[in-house]
Amino acid sequence: MENITFLHPEFFWLFISLPLLIGWYFFTHKKQSATLKISSLKGFKVKPSLLSKLKPLLFVFRLLALSLIITALARPRTVDVSNKTKTTKGIDIVMAIDVSGSMLAKDLKPNRLESLKKVAANFVRDRQNDRFGLVVYAAESYTKAPVTSDKAIVLDAIKNIKYDNFLKDGTGIGMGLATAINRLKDSKAKSKIIILLTDGVNNSGFIEPETAADIAKQYGLKVYTIGLGTNGMADSPYAYAPNGSLLYRMMKVEIDEKLMKSIASKTGGKYFRANNNKKLQAIYTEINKLETTEIEEQRFYNYQEEFRPLIWLAGLLLLIEIILKNTVYRGFI
């Protein structure tokens, strides 16, 4: 019944007439039967007749038939809805992620890098209609995943981000931003954005961050910047132990917020500061709301009319009533 709709539900108002018909029946049914008045019934054996008891069924059949006809007039039908969606304004997004040693600091749990990977992966999953690319950088940078609509490739690239000696340690914000720009500059998407994340200050690379921001602006790329880390001190790695494990100590968190704000402002983006796991998740949620993808949805309705069985059943009930009335109950006293 959940899938049934009615084209003309106003016909259900006719059900108001049924109680009137029932009242009329009880008021007039005695007059419809012949009666014989005698002074006494003592000489008759009174035996209830089954046919007389069943005669009211004729009126019940008529009521049921009228109910079915009213329902049929309301045009019951089932509907099968199919949707077809088409992205009309796709967004290409490149995430440039700092993978320097300081990203192993434990002010976010279990550390900055692992917390970021979890949030970034959820962000990719939530945006089914957009394309993603991934750039990682320290003192140098490289593309870990090209801009693609294949979410599996991007999610696998995010999962495999880790701190190692493949890149020279340091923080080359300009290098990471420039590589991200290179991935997006030839994109045909209507909207192109970069999410640039760092937990430090620019101290490496041969491309100045401000210069990279100017290039991003020329290509119409919007840059959202995120400063990752608590305000003050954080439990950060500073050396390797003899067994190869990292040694930690409390160190001051330094983020060039002025630079990050400048990059975002110059390109029409926005700067965020994430000092805990909850705030980091909230930032990606806000970016998700700021950058919406326009989707055109087409719905196709396939209606199946269901009034015909009701008409057939109503006709059958009326036919049964007419047959019984003109055979079994013909001249019935």
- Give the pLDDT of residue 33: 58
Alpha-carbon span 61 to 307, nearest angstrom: 19
Name the most confidently modeled range: 8-22, 42-56, 196-210, 307-321: 196-210
**pLDDT, the chain, mean:** 86
Q: What is the pLDDT of residue 180?
A: 97
Q: For residues 294 and 88, is the Cβ–Cβ distance under 8 A?
A: yes
142 pLDDT exceeds 50?
A: yes
Task: Return the percentage of the chain with pLDDT > 70, whole number.
Answer: 86
Minimum mean pLDDT among 32-36, 129-133, 199-203, 263-267: which range?
Answer: 32-36
State the DSSP H helix or E strand holding residue 7, giving kind and residue range, or none if neither: none
The answer on pLDDT for 27 being more than 80 is no
- Domains annotated on the chain, with CATH: 4-29+51-81+300-326 (no CATH), 91-292 (3.40.50.410)
Q: What pLDDT score was predicted for residue 84?
A: 59
**What's residue 111's pLDDT?**
94
Q: Which residues of 154-171 are buried (b: 16+ CB within 10 A; e: fewer)?
A: bbebbeebebeeebeebb
240 near 285, Cβ under 8 Å? no
Separation between Cα atoms, residue 66 and residue 68, nearest integer Å: 5
DSSP 293: P
The pLDDT of residue 160 is: 94
Cα–Cα dist 5/71, whole Å: 11
Residue written as token pair 């493949």: 166
* pLDDT (mean) for 41-62: 68
pLDDT interval class at 333 (50, 70, 90): very low
Return the pLDDT at 59: 80
Interval 163-173: pLDDT, tens: 877 778 889 99
pTM above 0.85, yes or no: no
Mean pLDDT over residues 281-297, rounded? 79
pLDDT in tens, 75-122: 888 877 766 555 556 789 999 999 999 999 999 999 999 999 999 999
Alpha carbon distance 112, 110 (integer Å): 7
Distance CA(319)–CA(323), nearest Å, equals 6
User: Can you tell me the mean pLDDT for 286-291?
Assistant: 87
Mean pLDDT of 261-288: 94
- Structure-model confidence comparison of residues 114 and 239, the more confident one: 114
Q: Which residues of 191-211 are buried (b: 16+ CB within 10 A; e: fewer)?
A: bbbbbbbbbbebebbebbbee
138: its two tokens: 């320290």
